[in-house]
């Protein structure tokens, strides 16, 4: 395993359930709207650090000129490349074929270039000053102790480029309460102090996790928490959605 890689049991072991989870995250588009207000990537170069199976790559490619996913775990690099291959083929096909081949939200603009590179946040496989926006979502490798990754963001971003890190806010919401119960040593205030010391901004946001049915909801809760805690959360929480507080940490590099 490459240096600095932190295993991610949810997506490493259950990539199909994680895809379901991703499809139900933030159905209202709160995160995308907040990022666009800070730095719109239309026509620009975007890197998604720790891109997993590449779920967010087509969403950026709908407007960006170039999108690069960086991911260290080889099976996920392969999955992300398969996704990108299907999108690229569909983008150059006839409209009817596009409809049949991919989810409507997975369409890239015809000239967008999308690629997936194996690498880590601490050693981004990208030239200096080559990107405009960096995005890292549920990227716990960004947090206290991640200074090498932050230096890399500063290197690959052009002047005026913006880096976004999206993380759980364990101090708020039902999901935050679950997170703290499952990880009692996690200190949300320390995380916030860390980013403030790095001169990053924090935008607190509230999103929803909305699954199509109870079975999908239970499946995604079970890949996020150990069995006993997942059982307890599900027993006390009916339905197929949960309120979920997040922090959007960001910095525009001079």
Ligand X SMILES: C[S@@+](CC[C@H](N)C(=O)[O-])C[C@H]1O[C@@H](n2cnc3c(N)ncnc32)[C@H](O)[C@@H]1O
User: Which of 26, 46, 55, 132 contacts ligand X by CB under 6 A?
Assistant: 55
62 touches ligand X (CB under 6 A): no
Stretch of 2-10, 87-95, 185-193, 238-246 contacting ligand X, by CB under 6 A:
2-10
Stretch of 43-51, 183-191, 223-231, 233-241 contacting ligand X, by CB under 6 A:
43-51
Stretch of 96-104, 105-113, 137-145, 214-222 contacting ligand X, by CB under 6 A:
137-145
Q: Give the residue from 23, 24, 26 showing the smallest Cα distance to 106.
A: 23
- Which ranges of 14-139 does DSSP label H, i.e. alpha helix? 15-23, 30-38, 57-61, 74-91, 95-101
CB of 69 to ligand X, least distance (A): 9
* 4 vs 143 by CB, closer to ligand X: 4
Say how far apart CA 108 and CA 57 lie, in whole Å.
9
23 touches ligand X (CB under 6 A): no
Say how far apart CA 216 and CA 180 lie, in whole Å.
23
* 90 vs 166 by CB, closer to ligand X: 166
163 touches ligand X (CB under 6 A): no
User: Which of 59, 66, 73, 107 contacts ligand X by CB under 6 A?
Assistant: 73
- Binding pattern for the stretch 80-119 against ligand X, x by CB under 6 A and - elsewhere: ----------------------------------------
Say how far apart CA 89 and CA 97 lie, in whole Å.
10
Enumerate the β-bridge partners of residue 113. Answer: 66
138 touches ligand X (CB under 6 A): yes
Which contiguous run of DSSP H or E holds residue 220? helix 214-224
Which contiguous run of DSSP H or E holds residue 241? strand 241-252
Say how far apart CA 92 and CA 112 lie, in whole Å.
11
User: Which of 72, 161, 176, 188 contacts ligand X by CB under 6 A?
Assistant: 72
CA dihedral 132, 137, 140, 146 (to 10 degrees): 10
**C-alpha distances in Å from residue 234, one per residue of 10, 15, 131, 182:** 18, 21, 42, 13
* 141 vs 209 by CB, closer to ligand X: 141
Binding site for ligand X (CB under 6 A): 4-6, 8, 10-11, 22, 49-52, 55, 71-73, 76, 120-122, 137-139, 141
């Amino acid at each position: 395993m490459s240096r600095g890689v932190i295993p991610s049991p949810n997506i490493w072991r259950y990539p199909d359930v994680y895809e379901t989870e991703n499809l139900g995250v933030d159905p209202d588009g709160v995160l995308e709207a907040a990022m666009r207000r800070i730095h719109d990537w239309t026509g620009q170069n975007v890197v998604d650090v720790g891109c997993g199976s590449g779920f967010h790559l087509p969403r950026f490619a709908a407007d960006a000129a170039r999108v690069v996913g960086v991911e260290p775990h080889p099976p996920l690099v392969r999955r992300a490349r398969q996704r990108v291959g299907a999108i690229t083929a569909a983008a150059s096909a006839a409209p009817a074929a596009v409809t049949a081949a991919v989810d409507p939200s997975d369409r890239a603009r015809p000239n967008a270039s999308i690629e997936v590179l194996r690498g880590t946040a601490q050693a981004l496989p990208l030239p200096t000053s080559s990107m405009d926006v960096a995005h890292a979502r549920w990227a716990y490798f960004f947090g206290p102790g991640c200074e090498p990754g932050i230096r890399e963001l500063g290197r690959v971003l052009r002047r005026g480029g913006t880096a976004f890190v999206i993380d759980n806010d364990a101090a708020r919401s039902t999901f935050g309460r679950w997170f703290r119960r499952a990880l009692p040593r996690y200190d949300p205030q320390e995380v916030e102090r860390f980013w403030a010391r790095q001169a990053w901004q924090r935008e607190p946001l509230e999103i929803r996790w909305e699954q199509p049915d109870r079975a999908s909801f239970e499946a995604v809760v079970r890949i996020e928490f150990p069995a006993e805690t997942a059982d307890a959360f599900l027993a006390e929480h009916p339905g197929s959605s949960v309120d979920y507080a997040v922090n959007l940490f960001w910095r525009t590099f001079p």
